[in-house]
């Protein structure tokens, strides 16, 4: 497995990480714990050293899962987790969290729970999960700076933050990486975010690099989505939009045939080719899909390939919003 470096602080991780949310939350019911522990350990055996979770995934269950599964590999892996969501009325409401909370006192409180659940002495990478408009980003960065000084956190990250917010945070505490959605069917970060990160020496971790599964070519307009699968509420996954967006998968399929690869591998290889400081974190709950994703590291897209993909993709209109309106409001502040 190749490695890449995130941020000027030199956080070295595998070129592909593993997004772990779907093991416990959002993509249907939680998966079997024993099977997921086996999958996480299989990822380590195959060279993955970068694992992504958050306290909200479950809530709590995903951090606990990683804590148990990765305990034998302390010092060999990098675990990223996140803070910034508050349960409704400070309680879990129907198993889902609502509202934002990045107040300094809250961050200092919840970091202790994450440390305990992950079974670690420090958190390798601690993200603000979403920007909280009620709390100045300088206060958030300053709080994480204090946690770093205390030895409880090693690196600071932001998620779905805008360029100006990134600059303000970075001026207080160096931001190691930004995590935001980025793929061939969501390219908004190319406008302002990627130039800002390059200028400041900040790494980039794209989530949903496979378009929440759509870019694998395993879905079409007739693929059923259970009510417990959050994609059932996402406009982009409405049947008519899936049908309209199939042209992007057709493009990936064409290159997959040329490279003896899969559409998902082409999508990941395209991301890896954009910048050397980009580390996608595709999620999966299946060993076969994990191995397929990791195979993307060995797919070589030439400059001519990339130019052809760009020329074709730029003429494809993506149909449907990436999130329901109420969720989109909490992104990109």
Question: What would the pLDDT profile of 107-116 be if each residue is shown by its tens digit?
Answer: 999 999 999 9
Write out the E strands in the chain.
3-6, 11-14, 18-19, 50-52, 78-83, 123-128, 153-159, 175-181, 203-207
Q: Is the pTM of this model over 0.75?
A: yes
The model's pLDDT over 184-193, given as tens digits with 9 standing for 90+, comes to: 999 999 999 9
Residue 87's pLDDT band (cuts 50, 70, 90): low
Domains and CATH numbers, the chain: 3-328 (3.20.20.100)
Where does residue 237 rank: exposed (0-12), middle (13-18), buried (19+ CB within 10 A)? buried
Alpha carbons 262 and 165: distance in angstroms, whole number: 37
Nearest-CA neighbor of 297 among 47, 111, 95, 11? 47
Q: What is the mean pLDDT of residues 120-131?
A: 97
List residues bridging with 205 in a β-sheet: 179
Catalytic residue among 27, 57, 126, 182: 57
Q: What angle do CA 102, 103, 107 make, to 5 degrees?
A: 70
Q: Of the candidates 78, 21, 80, 68, which has an alpha carbon nearest to the alpha carbon of residue 48?
A: 78
Residues 6+ apart with CB under 8 A from 187: none
Question: What is the rounded average pLDDT of the residues 54-65?
Answer: 95
Count the neighbouring beta carbons within 10 Å of the beta carbon of residue 246: 16
57 is catalytic: yes
Burial zone of 297 (CB within 10 Å; 0-12 exposed, 13-18 middle, 19+ buried): middle
Q: How confident is the model at residue 98 (pLDDT cuts 50, 70, 90)?
A: low
């Amino acid at each position: 497995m190749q490695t890449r470096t995130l941020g000027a602080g030199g956080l070295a991780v595998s070129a592909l990480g593993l997004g772990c949310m779907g093991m416990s939350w959002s993509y249907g019911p939680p998966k079997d714990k024993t099977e997921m522990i086996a999958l996480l350990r299989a990822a380590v055996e195959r060279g993955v050293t970068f694992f992504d979770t958050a306290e909200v995934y479950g809530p709590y269950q995903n951090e606990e899962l990683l804590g148990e599964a990765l305990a034998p590999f302390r010092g060999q892996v990098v675990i990223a987790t996140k803070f910034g969501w508050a349960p409704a009325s400070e309680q879990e409401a129907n198993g889902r969290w609502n509202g934002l909370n990045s107040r300094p006192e809250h961050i200092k409180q919840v970091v202790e729970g994450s440390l305990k659940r992950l079974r670690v002495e420090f958190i390798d990478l601690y993200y603000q999960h979403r920007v909280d408009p009620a709390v100045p980003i300088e206060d958030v960065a300053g709080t994480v700076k204090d946690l770093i000084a205390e030895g409880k956190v090693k690196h600071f990250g932001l998620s779905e933050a805008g360029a100006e917010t990134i600059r303000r945070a970075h001026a207080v505490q160096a931001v190691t990486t930004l995590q935001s959605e980025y793929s061939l069917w969501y390219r908004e970060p190319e406008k302002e975010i990627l130039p800002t990160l390059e200028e400041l020496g900040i790494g980039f971790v794209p989530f949903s690099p496979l378009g929440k599964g759509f870019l694998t070519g395993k879905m079409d307009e007739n693929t059923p989505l259970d009510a417990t699968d959050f994609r059932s509420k996402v406009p982009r996954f409405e049947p008519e939009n899936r049908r309209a967006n199939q042209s992007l998968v057709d493009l990936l399929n064409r290159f997959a045939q040329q490279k003896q690869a899969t559409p998902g591998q082409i999508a990941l290889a395209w991301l890896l080719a954009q910048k050397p400081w980009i580390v996608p974190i595709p999620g999966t709950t299946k060993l076969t899909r994990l191995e397929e994703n990791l195979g993307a590291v060995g797919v070589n897209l030439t400059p001519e390939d990339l130019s052809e993909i760009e020329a074709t993709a730029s003429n494809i209109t993506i149909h449907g919003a990436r999130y329901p309106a109420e969720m989109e409001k909490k992104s990109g502040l």
